[in-house]
Amino acid sequence: MRMLQLHKESIRNALLQIVAGLVVCMLGVQPVHAEQKKPAPTERKNETLITAQHMSSDQDAGIVTATGKVEISRSDYILHADKVTYNQKTGVMHAEGHVALLDPSGEVEFADREEITGDMKQAFAENVGILFPDNSRFAAKQAQRYDGRYLVADKGTFTACNVCKEDPNNPPLWELRGQKIVHDNEEHEIYYHNATINFAGIPVLYTPYFSSPDPTVDRRQGFLTPMPGISPQLGAFARVPYYFDIGPNEDATFAPTFSEKDGAQMGGEYRRRFAKGSMDFNGSFTRADLISDAGVDEGQQWRGHLIGDFLYNIDNMWRAGTDVAFTSDKSYLQRYRLSSADQLTNRAFVEGFKGRDYAVTNMYYFEDLRPGTQPVQPLVLPEATFSALGEPGKTWGGRWSLGGGLLATNRDNSNQNPLQQGPNTRRFSLNGGWERQFTSNTGFVITPSALLRGDTYWADNVQNSQGTSSTYNNVLLARQFEQANVVARYPMGRSGDGYQQLLEPIVALTAAPVVKADPRQPIEDSLDVEFDETNLFSPNRFTGTDLIEGGSRATYGLRHAVTLNNGARVDMFGGQSYDFTDNSLFPQQSGLQQHSSDYVGRVDFLPAEWINANYGFRLNHDTLTPERQDALVSVGAPVFRPYVRYISAYQTETTGIIDELEEATLGFSSNFAKYWTLYGSHTQEFQPQPGARGTNVTLTYADECFVFGIGANHDDTQRADISSGTSVIFHFFLKNVGGIHTDGAAMGGFQPQFRQY
């Protein structure tokens, strides 16, 4: 159907009928009468809608003219112009003045003047430009459109950069210039012939031929930008990725890496999403020299890795999945910069959620990548837990809780040193609890709770936990534990002239039977204790299930905070616990082995935007000497903001690794100019092995269309098959065109982040 809207009442009805007839003949559209049936969709495709402020006709010359906010719509094309003239003899429209043509793909073509055929698929334009949906643009002095698909421009340019607001005539930060540029809006590809990349109007790179997807393309099959580099482990290397666009929900990348020392490494990634889940796996393999963890040259060996995850939603309550992480040897992942993890966890699971209830069954396999001889890692099959929580106020005014779990571990202890062996454990646990909160009229908040718990063990090859060489087999243990806990808080607050103040004393009383150490007790998940302000009021300060903190104790602490209306804040907290009974289960240096625990606390100090400081501590209860410290101080403005972080802590005896860790990191960040950022840091270890651990500096430029960065990292760690040294990382990306990232050894590569201003 076609409509003629004439907004000037001065045009006579007779002229209206003549013009209507001419336009109908021009566009091949039949008049519509009231009694006609509704046109079919295929008929509508060739119909035209024209609106304009003025329309006129020269019958002798065969010219129809529309002026004033002209809009012509046909077959998903929409043309806007100040004036459109149609020549009936040639079948060509001439549009001029603010010409804009919107095509079916969503691209907008601008021009000063444009000659267009009646079906709008053929055109010739002067001073033409295309605005893509992401605000990138294409421009040329003149261009021709063929078959509604190809736009061929002479001496054209493309850029994703915004126009300079201060001087729009200035060239953009970068642009691609081509002697001939062809845009295919069906394949969504742009082809450049005799092209240069210009920065600030200066040519810096020439290529006789170049092509890239247009900005409407999210992904495209083909070779990605090669990633070259140099590393101490591989020498000179280059990664050459090829991307496979398998489907809208599935893709893959084949990424071989060719290096000076290891030859060819085959690698890749596969990703897929489906209606009820997803999967993502990456892996690699190579045959290369291997230096064992003991420093022995084992010659050419097959080496590789596989890392990924799978998730499947069974229904609205249940889901299942796997997390896979496997490598052939301890140094492979770090050698190829795939991961810095010192332990890999493989997991298969089924879990369910229903309201406040949760249940999960896991299977675990661990791979220890730490240097040296390490304890035998267990195969966990299964580890199952569940928890349920009642409605508040339904049980004696409070809520009940129920939980439990099942654990089975198995270790291959054959031919292993007794110091590296571990138990084979079967454990069943069940616990029930209750909690209620009371708030008095004066502001006291009192929270009583109770716990009843039982654990049953059946274990083999249990090493004596008291340090002797005894080993226990066929161990059967049953344990029952009851605990009552009451926490009382009295938050007091006041507001002053420009500030708010909070003072909150907290006291807790815990009553439970003393838990005696049993040398036959297998310990799987309570190997370490880190006592700080976060777990001061926890009923059980052991991690996991195997060890329980029994006995009766009092815990007390005080929080004081002052907050100003301008956002400045000082927040302090400190506390201690007193155990009325001896608790020998806690290791030395834990801060909990004596009747009086160490003092723990934290201070957050933010008096202004230019300074941020926090300090966490554990002080010896007798001498007040620091047993654990974690301090961070950052000062300055965004133009230059240095910081220092200091860590000092004791490792507990049960870890068997080190007794003390002490290190400091000095660094800074600087947004010294718009779009520019500079980072730097250095880490120095003081205990247990003094020396530098790493130094890095990174310079980055990022705006709406261009990302550039260069960084240097010096790693001072030394391991078999991995040498310390300096790595240089360089990345250079043009939005919608691509770029280079020299740190190509890492799977996944660099993902540029373009800033919008």
Write the burial class of residue 736 (CB in 10 Å: 0-12 exposed, 13-18 middle, 19+ buried).
Answer: buried
Question: pLDDT tens digit string along 133-192?
Answer: 788 888 998 999 888 888 899 889 999 998 887 787 888 999 999 999 999 988 888 899
Residue 466: pLDDT band by 50, 70, 90 thresholds? low
104 shares its domain with 168? yes
Q: Which amino acid is at 712?
A: A
Q: What pLDDT, on the 0 to 100 scale, is given for residue 10?
A: 37
Residue 37 pLDDT greater than 60, yes or no? no
57 shares its domain with 194? yes
Asked whether residue 722 is domain-assigned, the answer is: no
Q: Strands 471-472, 63-74: parallel, antiparallel or unpaired by DSSP? A: unpaired
297 shares its domain with 160? no
Q: How many structural domains comprise the chain?
A: 2
- Residue indicated by tokens 């280079």: 740
274 shares its domain with 364? yes
Q: What is the mean pLDDT of residues 611-628?
A: 94
pTM of the complete model? 0.78
For 480-531, what is the HEC assignment? EEEEEEEEEECCEEEEECCEEEEEEEEEEEEECCCCCCCCCCCCCCCCCCCC
Question: pLDDT tens digit string along 85-128?
Answer: 988 888 889 999 999 988 877 778 899 999 998 788 888 998 99
Asked whether residue 543 is domain-assigned, the answer is: no
Distance CA 255, CA 746 (A): 11
Asked whether residue 559 is domain-assigned, the answer is: no
Find the range with the poorest average confidence among 347-356, 393-402, 521-530.
521-530
DSSP E strands, 172-254: 174-184, 189-199, 202-213, 222-223, 227-231, 235-239, 242-247, 250-254
Asked whether residue 606 is domain-assigned, the answer is: no
142 shares its domain with 113? yes
What range defines the domain where residue 224 resides? 219-406
- Which of 172, 189, 210 is the C-terminal boundary of a domain? 210
- Which of 406, 436, 456 is the C-terminal boundary of a domain? 406
93 shares its domain with 24? yes
Residue 540 pLDDT greater than 60, yes or no? yes
Residue 2 pLDDT greater than 60, yes or no? no
Q: What angle do CA 301, 305, 310 make, to 5 degrees?
A: 155
360 shares its domain with 223? yes
Find the range with the poorest average confidence among 464-468, 494-498, 723-727.
464-468
295 shares its domain with 229? yes
Asked whether residue 434 is domain-assigned, the answer is: no
Share of the chain above pLDDT 70, in %: 90
196 shares its domain with 339? no
Q: What pLDDT, on the 0 to 100 scale, is given for residue 421?
A: 87
134 shares its domain with 40? yes
User: What is the rounded radius of gyration, in angstroms, for the C-alpha atoms of the chain?
Assistant: 36
Q: How far is CA 180 from the centre of its chain?
A: 40
Residue 328 pLDDT greater than 50, yes or no? yes
Asked whether residue 474 is domain-assigned, the answer is: no
Q: What is the mean pLDDT of residues 230-249?
A: 87
- Which residues contact residue 27 at a Cβ distance below 8 angstroms, ignoring those fewer than 6 apart? 2, 48, 74, 118
Distance CA 542, CA 601 (A): 19
45 shares its domain with 119? yes
201 shares its domain with 271? no
Asked whether residue 576 is domain-assigned, the answer is: no
- Which of 177, 210, 243 is the C-terminal boundary of a domain? 210
Find the range with the poorest average confidence among 3-7, 462-466, 540-544, 631-635.
3-7
Asked whether residue 572 is domain-assigned, the answer is: no
Question: pLDDT tens digit string along 632-688?
Answer: 999 999 999 999 999 998 765 444 454 688 999 999 999 999 999 999 999 999 988
Find the range with the poorest average confidence among 49-53, 213-217, 553-557.
213-217
Q: What is the DSSP string of 386-424?
A: EEEEPPTTSBTTBEEEEEEEEEEEE---TT--TTT---E
